Amino acid sequence: MLIYVLGARSPVGAWLAAHGLTVPDSLLGVGVAEFFVSGSFVAIAATAAFGALDRLHEEAARTLGASEWRIFTRIALPGAAGSLAAGIAFAWLRAIGEYGATSIVAFHPTSLPVALYVTLSASGVREALALCYGFVVLAGAILAGAWILRRGVVT
């Protein structure tokens, strides 16, 4: 779908190319593809986080004359921050591990899964394990941080 919408022969892709932005075979293509496959994690986390907020606090702020922007920035956003951070962390982990969409849109991106595949194909398992271990440690740190934020241990 991304190639059909953002490819050089599509109306949107031609318009972007006329303005100096090419999506296929570019770093922008990697970002667009990764956002496409992982953006739903943030949307789902945000929907759940804002839906779980206690509306009593917002109503109290309205009766005291607070603007909607102030209610959002001072009550809703801090209340949902832990879940939003967890959703962003999970989306980032999903994006960093994306192989299919990035390899189709950007052809030969330098992303972790592609580097892992190239290293595995060229040098074997021993050399590829270093990338695997690094990714496991990175993923574990992100998941631990998201769990701590979600639990409210760090405010």
The single-letter code of the amino acid at 37 is: V
> Structural domain boundaries of the chain?
2-151
Q: Which is nearest to 143 in space by CA: 88, 90, 84, 85?
A: 90
Q: How far is CA 107 from CA 22, 25, 80, in A?
A: 13, 6, 37
pLDDT for 88-126, tens place per residue?
888 988 888 888 888 888 776 667 777 788 888 888 888
pLDDT value at position 116?
Answer: 81
Q: Which of 1.10.3720.10, 1.10.3660.10, 3.30.300.180, 1.10.10.10 is the CATH number of 2-151?
A: 1.10.3720.10
Look at the alpha carbons of 134, 138, 143, 144 in this order and tell me if their dihedral is positive or negative. Answer: positive
pTM of the model: 0.70
